[in-house]
């Protein structure tokens, strides 16, 4: 293979680019995970994680992908045959639904069109009908990575409360945590699921459960089998700075550095940066004459933008052109969206110039692949980034 000059543009919606500070932190001698230095590392990490989740409660760390954290949320709180209400927002919501079935739960799937988020009114109506309290949990994906749609968790919490229903609320934030405003405590979430490889700017390999007191109480009577995923021994060991298993020690060094970077920038600034980049990307898509998959402006994602291909054109062929010519990876369409959309990731350690390069690669790729479009998408994005097309802050806020 011949050498390709320059850097690869990894513009999928996760795993994201790992910043140099995090890479240098991971490149650290492995230490004794039963020793005092490691205990101090844990004591530094857990408070920072609570700030990012916006919770005063415990956060459990697993050496696993986000899929493991999905399973942990279910098996720690539920029993065989429990009914779980889920909403079909996209490919990952469908995978979580399939997992629930395999674990012996009875998931009820409210169908969706993959262009809008979970409907608070539909959830509230279903819970009002559940006068016997058969639904034990509501599971929602906050930011659906396959579609670029963000569900309104605060409104879903209100719908559950207005229905007077005791169901637990579980939320997947794998592609939203540390990228899009999220409030575990304020929104009354009982279990938040997250992963390391997106907004937290780490390689894959860590996953998380943020846990409410209500969820801890539910865990006392839960009867689904659990061993590795059991919260109890982990929380007990964490009290002294340790884990009940061999942790991913070097990734935890990287996590400490990533948390420091997020808090140095300020979470509100992180969220505003993501919203600005999302608004600039949507401006480019509109200028090209293409269509954003998300249909409700209130649910536009700050993490990624899914773009619908014109009829008769294959998104995967376009992505291959971009990869071959410009060494840039764009996200594929997943599930029923295969070949129909491509996804532009704009999350994590990402700035204006990186977005400009990304959108330039997309616009050149559209021309080379023969995809019908208008010129000027990159300029439209520049206008948003520089404020030439109006207030950049107002443009960014439009997607919130």
Residue ranges at the known binding site for substrate: 343
Which helix (H) or strand (E) segment holds residue 343: the answer is strand 341-345
Strands laid side by side in the 207-211 sheet: 59-62, 207-211, 191-195, 168-172, 135-141, 83-87, 106-110
* Preceding peptide of 15 cis, ω within 30°: yes
Give the chain's count of helices (H) and strands (E). Answer: 14, 14
What's the DSSP call for residue 163? T
Residues 6+ apart with CB under 8 A from 50: 56, 57, 59, 210
The CA distance from 189 to 214, in Å, is 9
| Interior/surface letters 314-325, b for 16+ CB within 10 angstroms, e for the rest | bbeebbebbbee
In the annotated binding site, the residues are 343
CA angle 165, 167, 170 (to 5 degrees): 135
Whose CA is closest to 255, among 196, 209, 199? Answer: 196
Whose CA is closest to 148, among 385, 363, 336, 331? Answer: 331
Residue keyed to tokens 């802050």? 393
Residues 6+ apart with CB under 8 A from 348: 14, 16, 17, 179, 198, 199, 201
Residues 6+ apart with CB under 8 A from 98: none
With beta carbons less than 8 A apart as the criterion, state whether 348 and 302 touch.
Answer: no
Strand residue runs (E) in 44-199: 59-62, 83-87, 106-110, 135-141, 143-144, 149-150, 168-172, 191-195
């Amino acid at each position: 293979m011949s050498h390709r000059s320059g850097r690869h543009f990894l513009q999928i919606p996760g795993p994201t680019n790992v910043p140099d500070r995090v890479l240098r932190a991971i490149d650290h001698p492995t230490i004794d995970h039963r020793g005092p230095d490691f205990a101090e590392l844990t004591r530094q990490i857990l408070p920072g994680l609570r700030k990012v989740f916006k919770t005063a409660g415990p956060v459990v760390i697993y050496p696993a992908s986000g899929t493991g954290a999905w399973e942990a949320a279910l098996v720690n709180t539920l029993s065989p045959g429990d009914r779980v209400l889920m909403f079909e927002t996209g490919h990952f919501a469908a995978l979580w639904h399939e997992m629930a079935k395999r674990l012996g739960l009875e998931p009820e799937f409210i169908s969706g069109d993959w262009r809008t988020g979970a409907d608070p009114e539909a959830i509230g109506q279903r819970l009002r009908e559940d006068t016997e309290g058969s639904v034990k949990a509501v599971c929602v994906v906050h930011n659906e990575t396959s579609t670029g749609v963000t569900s309104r968790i605060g409104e879903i919490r209100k719908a559950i409360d207005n229905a007077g229903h005791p169901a637990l609320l579980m939320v997947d934030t794998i592609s939203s945590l540390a990228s899009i405003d999220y409030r575990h405590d304020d929104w009354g979430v009982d279990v938040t699921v997250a992963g390391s490889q997106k907004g937290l700017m780490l390689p894959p390999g860590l996953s998380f459960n943020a846990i409410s007191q209500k969820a801890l109480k539910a865990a006392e009577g839960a009867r689904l089998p659990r061993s590795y995923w059991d919260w109890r021994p982990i929380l007990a060991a964490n009290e002294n700075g340790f884990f009940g298993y061999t942790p991913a020690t070097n990734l935890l060094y990287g996590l400490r550095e990533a948390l420091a970077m997020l808090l140095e920038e300020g979470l509100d600034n992180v969220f505003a940066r993501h919203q600005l980049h999302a608004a600039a990307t949507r401006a480019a898509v509109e200028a090209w004459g293409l269509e954003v998959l998300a249909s409700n402006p209130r649910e536009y994602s700050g993490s990624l933008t899914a773009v619908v291909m014109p009829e008769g054109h294959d998104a995967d062929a376009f992505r291959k052109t971009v990869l071959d010519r410009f060494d840039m990876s764009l996200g594929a369409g997943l599930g029923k969206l295969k070949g129909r959309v491509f996804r532009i990731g704009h999350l994590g350690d990402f700035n204006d110039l990186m977005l400009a390069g990304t959108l330039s690669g997309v616009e050149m790729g559209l021309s080379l692949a023969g995809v019908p479009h208008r010129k000027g998408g990159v300029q439209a994005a520049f206008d948003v980034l520089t404020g030439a097309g109006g207030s950049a802050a107002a443009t960014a806020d439009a997607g919130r």
